Each structure stands twice: as C-alpha cells, then as structure tokens.
Amino acid sequence: MTTKKIINVINIKNLQKSYKIGNSLLHVLKGIDLDIKEGELVAIMGSSGSGKSTLLNILGMLDLADKGKYLLDDVLIEGLTETTAANYRNQFLGFVFQSFNLINYKNALENVALPLYYQGFGRKIRQAKALEYLEKVGLKDWATHLPSELSGGQKQRVAIARAMASQPKVLLADEPTGALDSKTSNEVMSLIQQINNEGKTILVVTHELDIAHMCKRIVTLKDGVIVEDQNVDQVIVGNHV
C-alpha cells in the first residue's frame, strides 16, 4: 500500500513584516504561523489596517517578508530571482481584487485570455480557454462586452474567470466583495463556494463577518498576530446562475 503524504499547500512559520515610515518602523506582521491544506476555503479576517493585505501579498509573492519561512506547495519561497518568482506566481496563484483590475479597453474574453498570452498559449487555445471559463462563471453571452458595460458583480466574475483560467493551485482574493452590494456579494461568494467545492484551495481576505462565515475556516488577525483560528459551519449561499 502506498501512502500519500498530505502536504500543506501553504505553510508559514514566524512570518514578520514591517514598513519603514520616515525614521520609524511599523511592525505589521509580528510572527504569523499558518498552515493551509488543499481544498480549504479560508477567510482571513481582521479590522482595517490589521495587515490582511500585507499577509496576502506575501502569500501571493507580490511582496517579501522580512523574516520567517514560507513554503508554497512544498517549495521554499526565498531568494528567488524575479523570473523564477514570476513563474511560480503564474503557475501556483490566481488573484482577485476588490477593484477587479480589469483592463478597460479589452472585452471580457480578452481580459480572461490575457494572462494565458503571457503563459505562452497560442491564440486558439487562449480563446477556447477564456470562453470556457467565462461560461463557468455564467458570462459566456457577455464575452464581447467591455468592463464599462458590465455590473460590478459581472466584473468580479470576469476577474474570477481570469484567475481560474490559468488553473492555479490557490486562489487569493483580497476583499473580493468590498466594492459590491450585499446581494451581489452573495452571488460572488456563491461562485467562490462553487469553485471551492470543485476542489480549489481559496483564501478570502475580508473585514466582514458575514462574508467570513461563507468560508469554512476563519483566521483572525489582530495587532500583527493570529488571535483566532476556527473551523466554522459554512453558510451556503444559493447558486448564482
């Protein structure tokens, strides 16, 4: 019989980060330990300024910690060249932001297809994959529309399709519902739950408790440390389409 070692998709130990402001240091993360297993749906909770985005940016390899150890899919993230870091980022991570970060002059399909271009996929495959993922988020019929012609919820679904099209190991979402009304927030969280149910590991940064409760586990940050880490009874949101 073979036994498969269960690895943590994310494993961090004593992670620390300060920002230099003038002559003083703002110590934002003061020693974070966190393990995340494959298939988890985790909310990172905390009030504004508690360091949630700082943590997510380090996990997303968009920023570096000052101290501590970070293993992503069992790979030590340390001292990597820009190119290697960019490759890992493309291979392992998908990002969703509060402000959608879509390119305004590109339509929905082109927005989803763009990262695939940078990953070296040919035009036909890019188009097919982009359409496939737009369909998954219920927006196939909106493929040729510009972001300005889409509602906030639709824009965020396009951003989710764009993140998912690269088939990342982990999806990182920083306040994905922060710019949306509560009904639309529920639709986006329903989609996130659906993607998680299909097996994707997802981290959702939020300062809203009701959004956090749509995840399966809530990690709470306060004063630079994790003050609570609990599994919760997930509030299931109805299907979005």
Residues 16, 29: contact at Cβ < 8 Å? yes
* Contact status: 50 vs ligand ADP (CB under 6 A): yes
| Nearest residue to 127 (alpha-carbon basis) of 146, 141, 145, 108 | 108
Of 28, 143, 203, 211, which lies in the binding site for ligand ADP, with binding defined by CB under 6 A?
A: 28
Q: Whole-angstrom Cα distance, residue 11 to residue 156?
A: 28
Of 10, 46, 60, 102, which lies in the binding site for ligand ADP, with binding defined by CB under 6 A?
A: 46
Using CB distances below 5 to 8 A depending on partner kind, what does residue 23 bind out of Mg ion, ligand ADP, none?
none
| Nearest residue to 16 (alpha-carbon basis) of 37, 36, 30, 35 | 30
Q: Which stretch binds ligand ADP (CB under 6 A): 41-49, 115-123, 126-134, 180-188?
A: 41-49
Residues 7, 74: contact at Cβ < 8 Å? yes
* Contact status: 51 vs ligand ADP (CB under 6 A): yes
> Radius of gyration over alpha carbons of the chain, in Å?
18
77 vs 204 by CB, closer to Mg ion: 204
* Contact status: 26 vs ligand ADP (CB under 6 A): yes
**b/e for 19-56, b at 16 or more Cβ within 10 A?**
eeeeeeeeebbeebebebeeebbbbbbbeeebbbbbbb
65 vs 109 by CB, closer to ligand ADP: 65
Q: In angstroms, what is the minimal distance from the CB of 81 to ligand ADP?
A: 22
Q: Which stretch binds ligand ADP (CB under 6 A): 50-58, 105-113, 165-173, 181-189?
A: 50-58
Q: How many residues bind ligand ADP (CB under 6 A)?
A: 12
* Contact status: 19 vs ligand ADP (CB under 6 A): yes
Q: Which tokens is 189 given?
A: 């969280």
Of 49, 122, 236, 241, which lies in the binding site for ligand ADP, with binding defined by CB under 6 A?
A: 49
* Contact status: 159 vs ligand ADP (CB under 6 A): no
Of 11, 53, 184, 220, which lies in the binding site for Mg ion, with binding defined by CB under 5 A?
A: 53
* Contact status: 227 vs ligand ADP (CB under 6 A): no
Q: Whole-angstrom Cα distance, residue 139 to residue 161?
A: 9
Residue type, 14: N
Q: Which stretch binds ligand ADP (CB under 6 A): 21-29, 30-38, 98-106, 227-235?
A: 21-29
| Nearest residue to 42 (alpha-carbon basis) of 237, 198, 202 | 202
Contact positions vs Mg ion (CB under 5 A): 53
